[in-house]
Chain A
Amino acid sequence: MLLRIKSQNRQENISFPGAVCELPVYDLIVAGLGTAGVYAALTAARYGLRVLGIEKLNCCGGTGTAGDVHGYYFGTPGGIYEELDDKVREMEEAGYMPVVGLNPEAKKFICEQALVESGVEIHYESRVTGVLMEENTIRGLCWVENGEEKAALAKITLDCTGESGICEMIGCRMERGRAFDGQIQPYSVVQPEIINGLVEFYHYLDCGYMDALDAGEYAKACVNGACLPHYNPEDYSTRRILGISMLLGLREGRRIMGEETVELSDYFKDRVTDHPVFYAYSNLDNHGRDLAFESEGLQDWMVAASLWGINISVPVPLGSCIPQGYEGILAAGRNISIGHDIASCVRQRRDMQKCGEAVGCAAALAIQKGISVREVPYEELRERLLATGCLRETDAVGIWDIEDGKWYRSAWLDRAEDIYQGLKSHKPGIAIWSAGRIGGFVEQQLEEWLSDSDQNVARNSALALGILGNRKALPILRCMAEERDPYVPCTSRKYNQPRGLSAVYLLGRLKDSEAVGILERILETPEDDRGQEYRYDQFIRTKKEYGFQFFTHAAMALSRIRAAYPELEEEITGKLKEAMKSPFFESLLGDTAEDAIYIRVAAGNMRKFLK
């Protein structure tokens, strides 16, 4: 049997030095007893499996407890986590401080007790260090526990480590970040604090970016994050800080390439799985302020239609938890096979707990039937998941929006009249997107509406046509970009985009060679709002951020145009080079403000990737 380990960031194979026949044997090993891992282990143990849980920290719950992210952000109800959460609330009431969400100490204890009672063997302070393999089948794991190397065999191993550390070790194909520069969502340091008698954790900062599977980068991030004045203020005398969390707040990392992958582009086309094991429910909460570098699909949604705040419901199949080409292994948690664009939705705690339950249930079925996880009969799995509420007939809730503090089920529009009214309103995003979805007959209407006397209708029609790839929108889009149209819609509860910016993006998307002059002028004077006196908001908070947004979108638009017109290559490349030497760009690179880390990093990446 081969032992596959990682050494200095590279995979290595060595033969296992011990006697394999003497190793303890389990049905299932769960690596990482975090948000997903706890429920995977618990489910499998409740089905009678012999389960070993290996966790590098000294408690259960991962990011939700040790990481102090104790609040729930959307996600779907149902499943065994609800049963445990009820106990957590009961315990909290009997002598623990109220917290935003669920008390993390109570949660650690209740989860741990549930695992112990169901017979899971827990090994804390144990770090997985290697994988035992026979060809492409995973036979067990090695770990280090209190300075001692240990190993065990199992029929199935679950990678619930958040970062796909185990799948990476075996050589599974991985993906990380967005296409432009491989950037993932930012990490945060979490520092819980008592504020007005409540334990809060939400006041964290986006601290920057790193590859958590690179120990050097991870170490630097721990130090740099904790030293930011946000976490290290000059006066603590009246603060009631409870400490810095044991886990760095990692929102996104490496994801496995699974048998199936959930992609945003498929979701947009209603090409979703018909054999879900759980649903994710959230907005695309990507913490990104450098949207210009995201994919076209994501920018259509966020930049052209300002749909950041719309919640979507995404069915996830078991296939996205099965690493392509390997047997005896499954993944659960934020490291499953989900494209970067939709990963910011499929990561919330409720849903990751359900992911754990679904995967634990599938592993139990496979082991009980003596089959591969790929052969688990969906109907049987579904029955079991429906029984606990991990999966519910009512989970496919479509899209949700909020008005006056109240959430309601919204829907895409399908009648021209409704779309017209939507485009006319101050919440035009749903109408813009609906028109883009329908195309066909609405496209003709949109073309007519370009000359509507109502400016909102005309300009929002141009945005919808832009998404449809219709070049008739170009004259209005040019005008909006040139003017830096400062109109900001009220579509989303946060992060609505100024229409001028949406136009700049779409000029690039439509590869409009006639817009080159306009875009180059934006590069020259990115902070110039053309006398429009832009009203700063949560997304664009300062003049610098205003300039950053226009500069980055204009640069990316030019680079798209350059790719389509070889004859413009020299001119555009020259302009981009010049712009990336300008004092404005230098000021981006040198920005040391702690809430502008993304600006510095994005500028650095531009210089590297936008050759």
Chain B
Amino acid sequence: MKQYKAVIYGASVKGIGIAMQLPEQTLVVEKTSLAAREFVSALVPGEGSWEAKTEPGKGLEARYRQKGILTEGKPIQIAAAAPVMFETIRDAQIRVLFGTDLKVCRADGKNIVTCYNDSGIFQVCAEHIYDWEQEAAEKPEYGKYINALLYCDDPSRIIEWENRRGGIRVLEYAHPDMKLFCYPLDREDDWIAAREKLHSFWKNRPGRLAPWKIASVASAFAWLKETGEKGELLQPLYGNLLGAFESGVELGKQWKEEVKI
């Protein structure tokens, strides 16, 4: 059975940051064909600083700025952020098994990971398991949301919406004719319940939202913490994509040190 230092469940941004530090000794297992789903597919631009502290973080930030995905004073164009993460995977030669599910068992103090994909079933052994969704969902201050991108032909139709604790948020997006719509869910809501809630609300939405249309709905749940004075803002773990990536880089470095020892 092949041994890895870490198996990372989900090609999450933090997971890619970890794997970048020790690409030979990590296996990333992703159930879909996408990377950075917790930001890109969940439609989470995040909050906070985009000033990188680590070298890999600086590289990532530069790439997003270079491509006009991240521009000063605006939220990141998060829906367009995936290809740069794929570039990172390719350039760092990170092993990601897309289209793969897993099951983890503990045996003799180790994690035995069973992977399932279209090539069949196989097992590997790992010292660490990292799972972004688990990390976020375990923290009680992070709530579950289904987000959507809104669009209006006439961006002068300002949405008069009060963003407040516990409620639906309408947030700015990278383009003035688009907004981010965040709908809070119960933690136990599955996809059927989440869609039912979102679409029922939208069908009967208040007139203020009437000129706006749903352009796309997130295909991953967002785990977000309320911030700001009135809880009007929403923040993912580590603030934003860059924060998550750099936290992964730091953790990866730590695990790399452990390998050396």
Whole-angstrom distance between the alpha carbons of A58 and B221 in the complex?
Answer: 11
Of B47-55, B163-171, B191-199, B232-240, which stretch is located at the interface?
B191-199
Give A124 to B221 CA distance when docked, in angstroms. 14
Interface flags, A162-179, vs B, CB<8A=1, else 0 = 010100000000000000
**Chain B nearest Cβ from A296, distance in angstroms:** 33
Contact flags (1/0) for B70-99 with A, using CB distance below 8 Å? 010000010110111011011000001111
Chain B residue with the shortest CB-CB distance to A189: B33
Q: Is A402 an interface residue (CB 8 A)?
A: no
Q: Is B124 an interface residue (CB 8 A)?
A: no
Q: Establish whether residues A194 and B151, one from each chain, have CB atoms under 8 Å apart when the complex forms.
A: yes
The interface stretch among B17-25, B111-119, B222-230, B249-257 is: B111-119
User: In the bound complex, do residue A192 and residue B205 qualify as a contact, i.e. CB atoms below 8 Å apart?
Assistant: no
Q: How far is the CB of A56 from chain B (nearest CB, A)?
A: 7
Name the one of B31, B79, B82, B98 contacting A219, with C-beta atoms under 8 angstroms. Answer: B98
**Which of A239-247, A347-355, A439-447, A586-594 sits within the interface?**
A239-247
Tell me if A26 counts as interface (CB < 8 A to partner B): no
Is A394 an interface position by the 8 A CB rule? no
Write out, one digit per residue, whether chain A residues 217-239 have a CB within 8 A of any chain B CB (1) or not (0): 01100111011000111111111
Assuming A6-B120, A144-B116, A216-B119, is B82 touching A222 (CB within 8 A)? no
> Which of B117, B191, B212 is close to A59, meaning CB atoms less than 8 Å apart?
B191
- Which residues of A are found within 8 Å of B121, using beta-carbon distances? 5-7, 129
> Across the interface, which residues of A come within 8 angstroms of B116, CB to CB?
127, 129, 144
Grouping DSSP codes into helix (H, G, I), strand (E, B) and loop, the B interface class, with mixed when no group exceeds half, is mixed
For residue B215, CB closer than 8 A to chain A, the reply is yes
Q: A222 touching B216 by the CB < 8 A rule?
A: no
For the complex, what is the distance from the CA of A129 to the CA of B118, rounded to whole Å?
8
Q: Which residues of B contact A149 (CB under 8 A)?
A: 103
Asked whether B83 lies within 8 Å of A231 as measured between CB atoms, the reply is yes
Query: Which chain B residues lie closer than 8 Å to A227 at the CB level?
Result: 83, 86-87, 90
Report whether B82 and A244 are in contact in the complex, using a CB–CB cutoff of 8 Å: yes
How many residues on the B side are at the interface (Cβ–Cβ under 8 A)?
61
In this assembly, does B101 line the interface, its C-beta being within 8 Å of a C-beta of chain A? yes
- The complex places the Cα of A66 from the Cα of B218 at a distance, in Å, of 11
How many angstroms from the CA of A248 to the CA of B86 in the assembled complex?
14
Would you give 28 A-B contacts (Cβ < 8 Å), ordered by A? A8-B122, A94-B203, A95-B214, A127-B116, A129-B116, A144-B103, A147-B103, A147-B104, A212-B118, A213-B118, A214-B118, A218-B117, A218-B118, A222-B99, A223-B98, A226-B82, A227-B87, A227-B90, A236-B77, A237-B68, A239-B80, A240-B175, A242-B149, A243-B40, A243-B79, A246-B33, A246-B41, A247-B33
Q: Which A residues are within 8 Å of any B CB, using their own CB?
A: 5-10, 12, 56-59, 66, 91, 94-97, 105, 108-109, 112-113, 116, 122, 124-125, 127, 129, 144, 147-149, 163, 165, 192, 194, 197, 199, 212-216, 218-219, 222-224, 226-227, 231-244, 246-248
